[in-house]
Chain A
């Protein structure tokens, strides 16, 4: 169990570094929103050099997207790519767990 995944995962990730498409839904300028935006931007900058797209959406401005993207809680970060779809809710203050949650190799 311990030996098997690591040799497999290791060469794969090195060969084709994954491209990340992330969406962050926030609610206007609330403290949680501002924190979340700052946190994710920092994580992406530091760990995903140039291989990510981050879209920050203010749900107040585009409420129609809530239904399509199944938004209930805010802030919500959605990892559209690579699959599978992942969601993280909250202000993303725990960087380590965000990295694990999004399955990002720490740089």
Chain B
């Protein structure tokens, strides 16, 4: 609220002063409020919130901006008005008693009134002037002045007088709101927009596909820039709030932080660390594949970390969610009690898309969660409003990203269609997309989970079997073999078969080992025997060799000895030589 004020001040130097309305969002769109000292026309059909907007402008002026105001009503009595706005926490009686607000009900009963000759509206001028002077009013509301046309005769006089009235309001320097009912092809029935040309705001209450949504548009704002879009607005216990929620471009800062999905095995599939904080996660799958269970896990994990989680349910009531999740071992009740988890259940048809968006926006801004879950998205698709749904989601995802809130959405994929194609074509907005599918084989349905994409992280490309147990979601490896992908009992059977085969193999190996051992022993025995045999032969051979050598030596010795004894061998030769000399 400080910002628009400053904005107004900067505009002051440029020439155009602005009167803040104090209505959330409206001051942003108008760059600070309504043109100060000039009349503004607010028009729209019945029940679109004109009176409320005007009243809020006045009450905020009196209570927050020190600008007392006069509310001149042509339709509702002061008592009705007081009662109507009491539900918003405005105590008009108190404001009237403190001379902050004057309520004046202008009552014209056509049946007791008759015209005779010329008249003017000087009475209204004097009356309004007196009210303004009584409290030093800076703001004036005329709601709905067109009623005069049905109450008083001679429209030509009336038109001239109204023109004079608006001029007079300008001269008095009051910031005025004039409300007008929407006419056929014109903004107001009596063409007031011709007279009040400084600022025109159109309120709209549209019903499409049997749901209503409120929108506001600044059609004209002389001397000032303004947002020209149609902005959704809400009327609830806090009054009007306009939501200038449009795509702000892709400027959000990203976080490197990772947060757990609540399922350890799933975290493992996502690079071992889970989702990125502030990313958007889509879980799509056919009916009954466990989308909500994964969402509940995620909420549970967030609360365990001490974070706040906001769960929007569009199909189940909070109690039902808590009961159902308890059956798979997730107890959300304590988190609700601790104020960490809020579950809001709305039927998508309870309001228009814009209203839903605005409501979510408001709830998120108020609760400031770290995690937002929407379950399921596609229930918004009624008829062929997919484009609008996508536009809404873009804005929501954008908003969540700028706020660094991790969004988890589920999407019910219709059976038969390619699951990758979400009904709400939002896949391009999604950072992490988990696919849950039925694997239908062997007379049973089993669930499979795979990661279709996950931006910015290496992730598993494997299909995991997804089990809902009484202690939450469990992921199992699926059996992938020559028989195809096996899940459920087929997987169990296969696993048992494998186990048996393994046992048999193990036994075979053992047997072979024993055989080998036996062979080794035999071989070793043979070797020992051969060795022993060889040793015996060796000894025998050595013995023979020894004897032989000894015999030879003995024989030689014997010959020498014999020669010696004969004394012939060497000597006779020497003697023979010396003899001839």
Contact = CB atoms under 8 A, between A and B. Distances in A.
Interface in A6-55: 25, 27, 30, 32, 35-36
B113 interface: yes
Nearest to A86: B112
Interface in A64-87: 64, 66-67, 70-76, 84-87
B127 A32 contact: no
A72 B108 CA distance: 8
B107 A73 contact: no
B508 interface: no
Contacts of B194: none
Nearest to B148: A72
Prevailing SS type, chain B contact patch: mixed
B528 interface: no
B123 A91 contact: no
A93 to B, nearest CB: 4
Given A66-B123, A72-B124, A72-B152, A101 B107 contact: no
Contacts of B107: 70
Contacts of B534: none
Nearest to B152: A73
Nearest to B103: A67
Given A74-B120, A75-B119, A87 B114 contact: yes
Contacts of B127: 59, 63, 66-67, 71-72
B130 A72 contact: no
A105 interface: no
Nearest to A36: B117
**Most-contacted residue by chain A among B104, B117, B118, B152 (CB, 10 A):** B117
Nearest to B106: A72
Given A63-B130, A64-B130, A67-B127, A74 B122 contact: yes
B532 interface: no
Say whether chain A's binding surface is mostly helix, strand, loop, or mixed.
Answer: loop
B interface, how many residues as a size bin?
A: 20 to 34
B129 A32 contact: no
A25 B123 contact: yes
B338 interface: no
A66 B432 CA distance: 69
Given A66-B130, A71-B127, A72-B152, A90 B121 contact: no
Contacts of B129: 63
B130 A73 contact: no
Interface in B426-464: none
A93 B118 CA distance: 8
A64 B123 CA distance: 11
A19 to B, nearest CB: 19
B570 interface: no
B126 interface: yes
A98 B106 CA distance: 24
B253 interface: no
A88 B114 CA distance: 5
Contacts of A101: 114, 116
B366 interface: no
A27 B122 contact: yes
Contacts of B250: none
B115 interface: yes
Nearest to B127: A66
A30 B122 contact: yes
25 contacts: A30-B122, A32-B117, A35-B117, A59-B123, A63-B129, A66-B130, A70-B106, A72-B106, A72-B108, A72-B121, A72-B123, A72-B148, A73-B121, A73-B123, A74-B119, A74-B121, A84-B112, A85-B112, A86-B113, A86-B114, A87-B112, A89-B116, A92-B117, A93-B116, A97-B114
Given A63-B130, A90-B117, A93-B116, 4 more contacts: A72-B108, A72-B123, A72-B152, A89-B115
